[in-house]
Amino acid sequence: MSTEDQIAPLSPKTSPATPTITTFTQRKESNSSSEDNRQDSWELVEDLQGLTGNIQKPEKQEGLLLKKRKWPMKGWHKRYFLLERGILTYAKTGTDLKKGRLRGRIDVGLSVMAMKKKSMCIDLDTEDSIYHLKAKTRDLFEQWVTQLRHHRTFRQNEITMEPPERPLQSDPTANRRVFTLLIQSCYWPKSTKPIMTQMFSTDQEVLVGSRPLRQQVSSESRGSIPESLSEFFDAKEYLLSGSSSENEASDDDSYVSDVSDSTSVEFCRNENGVAKEILSNGNNCAVTRRDHLPSTRMNESVNLWSILRSNIGKDLSKVAMPVQLNEPLNTLQRLCEEVEYCHLLDTAANTHDPHMRMVYIAAFAVSSYACSFTRAGGKPFNPILGETYECLRPDTGIHFIAEQVSHHPPVSACHCKSKNYTFWQDVRWKNKFWGKSMEIVPMGVTHLELFADRYEWSKVTSCIHNILSGRRWIEHYGEISVKHSTTMGDVSLCKSRSGGLNANEVEGMVTDSNGRVIHSLFGKWNEALYLGKPPSATCIWRANPMPEDHEQYYGFTQFAIELNELEEGLKPLLPLTDTRFRPDQRLLEEGDIAGAEEQKERIEVLQRERRRVLQENNITHSPRFFKRAEDDSWVSNGTYWDLRKDPGFSKLEFPVLW
């Protein structure tokens, strides 16, 4: 993202799926009164406030605009746009547009629209993607904004007034059509005239004027995601793909083939089941890890828009969200999930060919995103400053420790070691709310040491779609460049469409020091990664099968289910700052939402009080187990595991976090 976009305030956009409560007039009251400040902020284009039959048909508008691409060839690129009857289509050139070679199609009536006058930017947040447009001149910007406003109003009125063309049951696109409807004003504050869009469904009718429209109950509390397309390990696979005119990321040819899965099972699965925990007295204790959470997810509705509305322009990491939006895991534990497939690092450490070693490291970098596929419905708990988490797994040989080392900005640091490798990173985020979607842009570098060799890579952007209503889904896009002194691995997580044939695709290559391609990789970040070219490609990594009832348990993988488990034999070995002692997270896991909310508020009050005391006494917080390196990253200070043994955390003083 550009520097301008990174430092811009969160876009305070409304959505056809939400009541039009926040207007530009209201925002001006809280913003600076200067014209420069107003032009440098995002202005919302309001939704249609009522039904009318006399909106004049708008004139056709066409011409060149700049469009930002996130992957590949990221940056601003010229595209030829045509706006007609509220539908915005675009192609590479005007000639391509006339020939029907479209790169995308946007229904502006169903999009959240905002603009920034100073930079002449226009943003359209649709169900499937976020489109960033820019005009080259002020006159051209004003012209497009005027036309988009008119077309948007015309299209919203047209959608609301038009009757269904065919019975719902026979409409193959019914589950993807969205209609604007008025809902009873008692549901929202009486001073507003709400407009809401919902997914088209076959049950629960709502009347708009004299026409019935059908409304689907929002699944935001469940966060349901289509199940993985892959089967089990020995099945022959068919990775279908096709170009999508609505997804510009599919400009390049994508991999299409049936792929023979010729890899042996040990590359694809981890060891699960009974593990042994080493106790303080040196004895081994057999531990049978749980296979489900104590309680299923409690479905309680939350008016998320009312929360976001009151926090427009703020960093959402500083906003206290209701506990119902959380999953019973912590950000520190989410970092631990990234080492679920650490067997890939063991394989890399035992591989003598440096280029094949890079293949397994690239697969490990991709595998860290697999757990997010079914998790768009909830957010992890924000760690408290000084909170820690350890994961000691004799079955995989890892010693993992994480700590929240900074509160503002929030920074989580982790360190994982085994006999074959050392893995560490600190993670910081910037987030942007675009009206329907939220982009999460991670910062920081991931480090890996395999004996004398060191590797580094950065994370890609994640985007959660349909934040306010409908089925939430997540996509990751960008490039992961794994760097080494002699080899390089570039892995691209393709920008995708929800449910499309090319959804969640990954492609990459391993090159030598001269840039020559040695190995090619492809697959899907939520399913598997293959080495070579179809149909003779070999499976390097495959995601573990999901538990049968995972949708009822926050979409957790088996590995995630085990992370917050607190065995009796482990309690005396952990510091009191360990996440597993955190009461609000524990109560949510047990299904006690009211108790979890009460404890969450109490813990947040304690944190604010500790911070006040530190500021009044001019004291800077010092992390217990991490230190700041010369490059401003956070690294382990090497004390955790020694302190765990002697004298033991029970004999040390820790701040009271909860």
Residues of the chain with CATH 2.30.29.30: 55-160
Distance CA 82, CA 65 (A): 10
Residue linked to tokens 């009206």: 435
CA 195 to chain centre: 27
Question: How much is the pLDDT for 247?
Answer: 40
Cα-to-chain-centroid distance, residue 219: 17
- Tens digits of per-residue pLDDT, 265-313? 233 333 443 334 444 444 455 568 899 999 999 876 777 777 776 565 5
Task: Please give the angle made by the CA atoms of 312, 317 and 320, to the nearest 5 degrees.
Answer: 75
CATH (one of 2.40.160.120, 3.40.50.720, 3.30.420.40, 2.40.50.100) for 304-566: 2.40.160.120
- Taking the model in full, what pTM does it have? 0.70
Q: Count Cβ neighbours within 10 Å for each residue of 218-250 and write b for 16 or more, e otherwise.
A: bbbbbbbbeebebeebeeebebebeebebbbbb
Q: CATH 2.40.160.120 in the chain: give the residue spans.
A: 304-566
- pLDDT per position as a tens digit, 108-119: 988 888 888 888
pLDDT tens-place string over residues 2-56: 333 333 333 333 333 333 322 223 333 344 445 555 566 667 777 776 666 677 8
DSSP assigned state of 369: T
Convert the pLDDT of each residue in 120-176 to its tens digit.
999 898 877 889 999 999 999 999 999 999 999 899 888 887 655 444 343 433 333
Please tell me the class of the 55-160 domain: mainly beta
Which tokens belong to 339? 């080492």
SS3 581: helix
